[in-house]
Amino acid sequence: MRGLDTLALVLLIIGGLNWLLVGLFQWDLVAGIFGGQDSALSRIIYSLVGIAALYAFTFFAKFDHE
């Protein structure tokens, strides 16, 4: 697995766990760590998770070839 694939999966797992916490406990871990949803660091993390999700669409092409 390439490094970029691994990074995308790690970011997606972080994002998924964050949404699990929001859904179950109404607590946003990213916002809690980085100073609220409107902080620059939180917005960067949210953006990176979103970019990783877009990149993950390329995984479908990889599965078709295996």
Task: Kindly report, residue by residue over 12-54, the tens digit of the pLDDT.
Answer: 999 999 999 999 999 999 999 999 999 999 999 999 999 999 9
Cα 5 to Cα 24: distance, rounded to the nearest angstrom: 28
Nearest C-alpha neighbor of 29 from the set 8, 5, 13, 50: 13
Q: For 27, what's the count of Cα atoms within 13 Å in the CB-facing half-sphere?
A: 7
The DSSP 8-state label assigned to residue 65 in this structure reads T
Packed helices 3-25 and 40-56: angle between N→C axes, nearest 10 degrees: 120
Centroid of chain to Cα 46: 7
Query: What does pTM read for this prediction?
Result: 0.84
